[in-house]
Amino acid sequence: MVRKVLMICLGNICRSPIAQVVMVDTLEKANVKDVEVDSAAIGGWHVGNRADPRAISTLQKHGLKCTHIVRQIRKQDFSEFDYIFGMDEDNMSELRRLAPKDSKAELLMLGDFGLEKKNRIIEDPYYERGAEGFETAYQQCVVACAAFMKERLQK
């Protein structure tokens, strides 16, 4: 049985593509098969574009490649995916609002896995200068993706 994971952030150019690439890498390193991972945006501002260059370079710094093209979340995602992750409380609120009544997807905050409560929000680094916030988001995703995998996907 294939399980499907969808990472969500506001524009799908910073946090969610990082989380997608990190989750794929985490699963590959643990030899966990039959899991598909994608990412999408709450809003449609960047649809068709690539991730923010700072997100791409942060991933490259860790030997990872991001080829994702931005897309916006669709109604059918709530029935096609098993797990849909938001990066912060605003994402989660919007996901709950968008979810149809018959949604099969479990809506989760990525930072609730493996991160301390005070650090569970994966902050949006888009408006920051430089790449420091992208590195912070990357490190949070590494911890959270590994914890989620161990808790939910390796059973």
Active site residue ranges: 9, 15, 124
Q: What is the C-alpha to C-alpha distance for residues 12 and 60, in angstroms, rounded to an integer? A: 18
* Residues sharing a CB contact under 8 Å with residue 150, sequence separation 6 or more, in sequence order: none
> Which strands, in side-by-side order, build the sheet including 3-9?
35-41, 3-9, 83-86, 106-109
DSSP 8-state secondary structure symbol assigned to residue 86: E
Q: What is the C-alpha to C-alpha distance for residues 102 and 110, in angstroms, rounded to an integer? A: 22
Euclidean distance between the first and the last CA atom of the chain, given in angstroms as a whole number? 13
